[in-house]
């Protein structure tokens, strides 16, 4: 698994670099929120999701919903890499007329399964997609990436309760547990702990993992996908660092949304590349 893991680590680094590049074009964006989930996105698209290159609408594909839609800047380069649109289209990121904005639009961007960013809705939509799979004669799985601040939304827990009641075994939620949201430390805004026990009490299978450990993530997702008899939804609580990879951004809430001047951008890219 080490060769695959090395390639995925390189992909995560690429996503961070592209996040810096694209936000540099837009002159504002969500660095820290994107950095915390870079390994999660890279593992999902390079090692977990069943997708076909160049076929964004393949009916049998696994569905992915980015609940924390403000991290879409790190997702777009993955979709370009799958051949869903030319990578050069991202050069106009967030510009007038560009389909690529701060949040993903499923009507305009191939490979986006749900228009997200209004926090709290993605798990409900993912549950609907998971329930629809057998009705459509398909066996795809559905993955929903949630920010931990997003769990403050009551609709998340309504969906969690319904998914367990329906015994939806093809639904996996991933919580990017970076401990910060727009308003500061998540536990100070509205406490979530004991988070694992909450999900378990709602009837979900719970797995806790280091969200930056590629080998561990591959192992966790392989076990979940390989459990064909699974008869309940699963949640992966991924402990991450907001701003991961850039020292002055890590756990610094001011970088939830920001912009790097040219000199600082070069300094950040050098630090990211130095971690190769």
DSSP 45-109: IIII----TT-TT-TTSPEEEESSGGGHHHHHHHHHHTTSS-GGGGGGTT-TT-S--SS--TTTS
Element (H, E) at 18: helix 2-26
Nearest partner of 172 among 184, 182, 160, judged by Cα: 160
Q: Please name each of the domains of the chain with its CATH number.
A: 2-274 (3.40.50.970)
pTM assigned to the model: 0.97
In the prediction, which pLDDT does 276 show? 42
Neighbours of 94 (CB within 10 A): 17
Q: What is the pLDDT of residue 28?
A: 94
Per-10-residue mean pLDDT of the chain, 276 residues long, equals 89 98 96 97 98 98 98 98 98 96 97 95 98 97 98 98 98 98 95 98 98 98 95 98 96 92 95 77
Distance in angstroms (rounded) separating the CA atoms of residues 61 and 132: 13
pLDDT of residue 1: 53
């Amino acid at each position: 698994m080490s060769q695959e893991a090395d390639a995925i680590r390189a992909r995560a680094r690429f996503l961070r670099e592209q996040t810096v590049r694209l936000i540099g074009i837009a002159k504002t964006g969500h660095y820290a929120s994107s950095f915390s989930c870079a390994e999660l996105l890279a593992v999902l698209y390079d090692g977990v999701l069943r997708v076909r290159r160049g076929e964004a609408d393949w009916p049998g594909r696994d569905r992915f919903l980015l609940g924390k839609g403000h991290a879409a800047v790190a997702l777009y380069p993955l979709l370009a890499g799958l051949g869903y649109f030319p990578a050069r289209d991202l050069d106009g990121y967030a510009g007038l007329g560009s389909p690529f904005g701060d949040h993903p639009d499923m009507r305009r961007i191939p490979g986006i399964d749900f228009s997200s960013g209004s926090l709290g809705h993605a798990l409900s939509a993912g549950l609907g997609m998971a329930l629809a799979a057998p009705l459509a004669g398909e066996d795809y799985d559905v993955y929903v990436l949630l920010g931990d601040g997003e769990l403050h939304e009551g609709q998340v827990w309504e969906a969690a309760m319904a998914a367990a009641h329906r015994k939806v075994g093809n639904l996996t939620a991933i919580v990017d547990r970076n401990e910060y949201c727009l308003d500061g430390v998540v536990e100070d805004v509205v406490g979530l702990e004991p988070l694992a026990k909450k999900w378990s009490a709602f009837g979900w299978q719970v797995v806790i993992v280091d969200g930056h450990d590629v080998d561990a993530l591959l192992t966790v997702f392989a076990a979940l996908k390989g459990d064909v008899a699974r008869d309940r939804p699963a949640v992966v609580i991924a402990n991450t660092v907001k701003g991961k990879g850039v020292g002055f951004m890590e756990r610094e809430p001011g970088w939830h949304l920001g912009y790097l001047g040219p000199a600082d951008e070069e300094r950040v890219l050098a630090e990211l590349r130095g971690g190769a």
